[in-house]
Amino acid sequence: MSAPRASKRALQALLDRSAFVAGWGFRVKSVSDEACTVMLPWREELARPGGVVNGPAFMALADCAMWLAIKRRLGIEQDAVTADLYTAFLAAARRETVYCTARILKLGKRLVYGVAECHDARGRLFTHHTITYARIGA
CATH classification of the domain holding 79: 3.10.129.10
* Burial status of residue 6 (CB atoms within 10 A of its CB: 0-12, 13-18, 19 or more): buried
pLDDT in tens, 89-122: 999 999 999 999 999 999 999 999 999 999 999 9
Q: Which residue has the higher pLDDT, 3 or 117?
A: 117
DSSP letters along 47-96, please?
EEGGGEEPHHHHHHHHHHHHHHHHHHHH-TT--EEEEEEEEEE-S--BSS
Q: Does a structural domain hold residue 96?
A: yes
Q: Does a structural domain hold residue 111?
A: yes
DSSP run (H or E) holding 113: strand 111-119
Q: Does a structural domain hold residue 3?
A: no
Which pTM does this prediction carry?
A: 0.94
pLDDT in tens, 61-84: 999 999 999 999 999 999 999 999
φ, ψ at 29 (rounded to 5°):
-90, -50
Residue pair 64/82 in contact by the 8 Å Cβ criterion = no
Q: Does a structural domain hold residue 1?
A: no
Distance CA 87, CA 117 (A): 9
φ, ψ at 109 (rounded to 5°):
-70, -30
Res 3: pLDDT = 65
What residues make up the domain containing 96? 8-135
Q: Does a structural domain hold residue 48?
A: yes
Q: Does a structural domain hold residue 108?
A: yes
Per the structure, the count of domains in the chain is 1
Q: Does a structural domain hold residue 89?
A: yes
Q: Does a structural domain hold residue 90?
A: yes
